[in-house]
Amino acid sequence: MLEGAAQVVKTWGVIYTEHLLSRSIETIWLSNKSKEKSKLHFWEEWMAVKPDRWIRRKALEQKMIEPFTDRQVREGVISYGVSSYGYDIRVADEFRIFTNVNSTIVDPKHFDPKSFVEFKGDVCIIPPNSFALARSVEYFRIPRNVLTICLGKSTYARCGIIVNVTPFEPEWEGFVTLEISNTTPLPAKIYANEGLCQVIFFESDEDCEVSYKDKKGKYQAQSGIVLPRL
């Protein structure tokens, strides 16, 4: 296998060339026996991480994020607002805290709403080795050629508090349902109306064939904390 890998390195070359609207890769194959050259040419599509100025423009012109904070708010709070290549979203003061008092089985297809205790307040305390659902302060409207990923903030991660959010698909809109896990053996505080996680935006150079809106996704335009749906 190593000899074959070495042979591939010797007989294949890749040349990158810049174009005005996109980039192409031109692959040249060299035959060891005849020294003849044949060329294969194809286009490579790109998804670029978008910077603060793009996020600001989309938020102000297309209402991609509402309400939108045009700077990083950091003084005395867990930071939120636009950053260099992302947006730190806030968690609202509405929570659903998981409880096992009913001793039910967690079934994604038939989730029992009684497994949660509703809470509203400035500070939510998540029990040890448990989790809570919450929602974002911000309402998102994702463009058709954009996909996002969302990662928890390091301030919480360093305390053993993990935030899980699935990607925002093209043309999805709504408040974000946030899953917050306390992986520690101690109770953990979550501060409402402060930063919880960061959204990173990827823009493709062509639109998808079917967006989340086109397929009538089950979490489209969700307005609060939404439990699992089929």
Please give the full DSSP string across the chain, using - where no structure is assigned.
-HHHHHHHHHHEEEEEEE-SS-EEEEEEEE-TTT--EEEEEEEE--EEEP-HHHHHHHHHHH-SEES--SS-B-TTS--BEEETTEEEEEEEEEEEEE--TT-----TTS--GGGEEEEESSEEEEPTTEEEEEEEEEEEE--TTEEEEEEE-HHHHTTTEEEEEPPPPTT-EEEEEEEEEE-SSS-EEEETTSEEEEEEEEEESS--SS-TTTTT-TTTTB-S------
pLDDT of residue 193: 98
The residues annotated as belonging to the active site are: 179
Q: Where in the chain is the domain with CATH 2.70.40.10?
A: 48-204
In this predicted structure, the answer to whether residue 168 has a pLDDT above a threshold of 70 is: yes
Write out pLDDT tens, residues 103-120: 788 899 998 898 999 999
Selected from 3.40.47.10, 2.120.10.30, 3.40.50.1980, 2.70.40.10, the CATH number assigned to the domain covering 48-204 reads: 2.70.40.10
- Using 50, 70 and 90 to split pLDDT, how confident is the model at 100? confident
Number of neighbours of residue 219 by Cβ within 10 angstroms: 16
pLDDT of residue 117: 95
pLDDT more than 70, % of the chain: 80
What's the whole-model pTM score?
Answer: 0.80
In this predicted structure, the answer to whether residue 91 has a pLDDT above a threshold of 90 is: yes
pLDDT of residue 31: 45
In this predicted structure, the answer to whether residue 29 has a pLDDT above a threshold of 70 is: no
pLDDT of residue 44: 56
- Using 50, 70 and 90 to split pLDDT, how confident is the model at 153? very high
In this predicted structure, the answer to whether residue 84 has a pLDDT above a threshold of 60 is: yes
d(CA 138, CA 86): 14
